[in-house]
Amino acid sequence: MSTAPRAVNAYAAFDSKGEVKPWQYQSRPLGPEDVEIKITHSGICGSDIHTMDGGWGPAHYPCVVGHEIVGQVTLAGTNVESLKVGDRAAVGAQVWACLNKNPEAPCNNCADGEDAVCDHAVYTYASTYPDGTPSYGGYADYVRVDNHYAFKLPENIPSDLAAPLMCAGTTVFTPLKQEGVKAGDRVGVVGIGGLGHLLSSSFALLAPRRSLSLAPPARNKRSVLWVQKSFTI
């Protein structure tokens, strides 16, 4: 198994116009906790656009975005137990956290199980590893990430449907789980765009019969009709 850096073919933005062009970079060396994934699918998120065009502040170019990633594991570090070569895996918006492993730099958030807001978190793109290496996202043929942030996909979820679940899907499903939403609860959804649509779909997993209060934008009439057929309004 080679842990050396590899050439990665990507599509990068080079300025705030947000136009992506072919670009090649050298990946990080594969660490003992890392996996390498050959990317087959990468969703397009609004965050990608805002990052490339500088809408969330000055971007560092070249910028390779994409944090809804699905692909096949091609390499696994010596300490990785959750995944093996050949597994189909998905990656979301984060690729590394300290997990409170460094006694010289304690992290209360990781100690509390809140590694998503780790003091030293590395996000899938437009972020920097502790050694100064920049992170690049899923608009590429390969990506290397800490195995704690790559998740084996069940066979019954197609890759093209799994990709958007890694950002939009987790954004809406996580609060349902955290708040303990269950059958019989009333939940209001304001808007039936990309996130609202996935949130409404998530109800089917938690409560097959439910009461849904919906305040949709008028422009999404087709989505509203779908919801009316699928849910109790």
Q: Helix (H) and strand (E) counts for the chain?
A: 6, 11
Rounded-to-integer distance, Cα 100 and Cα 114, Å: 10
What local confidence, expressed as pLDDT, does residue 212 receive? 54
- Token pair 């137990």 is found at 81
Burial of 1 by CB count in 10 Å (0-12 exposed, 13-18 middle, 19+ buried)?
exposed
CA distance to 40, 78, 80, 92, per residue, from 5 (Å): 20, 16, 18, 22
**What's the pLDDT score for residue 211?**
47
pLDDT at position 188 is 75
CA distances from 203 to 41, 166, 186, 191 (A): 26, 17, 11, 15
Nearest residue to 21 via CA among 32, 9, 13: 13
Residue whose tokens read 């730099």 = 105
H or E stretch at 10: strand 7-13
pTM score of the predicted model: 0.86
The pLDDT of residue 93 is: 97
Architecture of domain 7-154: Alpha-Beta Complex (3.90)
| Segments making up each domain of the chain, as ranges | 7-154, 179-230
Residue ranges for the chain with pLDDT beneath 70? 1, 204-233
| Gap between the Cα atoms of 233 and 218, Å rounded | 16
